[in-house]
Amino acid sequence: MKRWLIAIVMLAILVAAGLFGASQYFYNMTVASGKKSFVGPVTKLKKTDPLYQQKKWYQTVPKQHWTEQAAGTDLKLVADYIPATKPTKRTVVLVHGFGSDKEAMGGYVAMFHRLGYNTLIPDTRGQGASQGKVISYGYYESKDYLKWVNQVIAKQGQQAQVVLFGVSMGGATTMMTSGLQTPPQLKAYIEDCGYTNAEAEITYQAKQMYNLPYWPLVPLTSSVAKARAGFHFKDANAVAAVKKNHKPMLFIHGGADTFVPTRMVHQVYAADAGPKQLLIVPGAKHAAALSHDPQLYTRTVEGFLAKYLPAGH
């Protein structure tokens, strides 16, 4: 074999090995559960936080502890449940974001508690205290949260009225749940800064964080995810899900969001087939719309829910 041919073959092998290694690295960064370098550390609660009182309340309020089995697996999921001050059949199930856990949801929990709702706050599979080694961007998680909704109904009866609320990946998970076959007791959805689909978000982040193009690492990493975790990035698709939705959904996004770009909310809002409402909070960054303008956020959520969940239940 000529030396130039040997050199080409060796170069091809090296490139293939490099791409394989890189795709495994990005799989660990994007899909495998565990600490993520690009997810900021959990900061200590500060009195300067606009939601300090609400988050402090959440840390100390008595909680019931619920468990559930992740869909299609034997993984154990955990959640905290906080009953409303006055007995009610209205419950909000809250979905946290990527690389986070239920402890980060204090401001939202306090808002819904003040509005008179029971709240159920799970740790998503592979995060917090729930079991699992994979984060699937809403693909598997949406099925898990449907099980949490059904558990609420089982405990509260057929008169239960349930709202699913999520932030960031939780917002995308909420949208993906809307595309499943859901019980009539699941009355409405609220999604805050969710993405259109996992592939689009990962492609955007690869460019923003590493200045990498879509090809070849994103499709290669997606193939690794399919082989190791059972899903392609394209499978976690909020746009496709909301096209099947016919229940009310409130879409919220920060006007200054550069992590999940604000343009994505216009895509999912346009695709949604049900009754819908859109709130863009001017100047708010990613997952910061509530803290940026608590009054506007709370007033909008309260008004939206008043349309679809009758009071007094």
* Average pLDDT for 290-302: 98
| Confidence band, pLDDT 50/70/90 cuts, at residue 232 | very high
- Tokens 């955007």 belong to 204
Class in CATH terms, 50-197+236-306: alpha beta
What does the pLDDT read at residue 6?
59
For the chain, what percent of residues have pLDDT higher than 90?
Answer: 81
Categorize the per-residue pLDDT at 7 as very low, low, confident or very high, splitting at 50, 70 and 90.
low
Cis peptide bond prior to 310, omega within 30° of 0: no
* Per-residue model confidence (pLDDT) at position 12: 46
Among the ranges given (223-227, 264-268, 275-279), the one the predictor scored with the smallest mean pLDDT: 223-227
Q: How confident is the model at residue 94 (pLDDT cuts 50, 70, 90)?
A: very high
pLDDT value at position 23?
75
Give the model confidence (pLDDT) of 129-157 as tens digits.
999 999 999 999 999 999 999 999 999 99
pLDDT over 70 (residue 114): yes
Angle (CA) 70 75 77, round 5°: 65
Q: What percent of the chain has pLDDT over 70?
A: 89
Report in angstroms the alpha-carbon separations of 81 from 48, 84, 93, 103, 250: 27, 10, 9, 12, 23
Question: Residue ranges of the domains in the chain?
Answer: 50-197+236-306
310: confidence class by pLDDT, cuts 50, 70, 90: confident
What are the angstrom distances between the C-alpha of 264 and each of 96, 204, 212?
19, 11, 20
pLDDT at 279: 98
> What is the average pLDDT value for the chain, to the nearest integer?
92
Position 43 pLDDT exceeds 80:
no
Q: What is the pLDDT of residue 45?
A: 86
pLDDT of residue 308: 95
> Tens digit of pLDDT for each residue in 45-68?
888 999 999 999 999 999 999 999
Residues 143-197 have pLDDT tens digits of 999 999 999 999 999 999 999 999 999 999 999 999 999 999 999 999 999 999 9
pLDDT band at 41; cut points 50, 70, 90 = very low
Exposure letters 90-112 (e unless 16+ CB within 10 A, then b): bbbbbbbbbbbbbbbbbbbbbbb
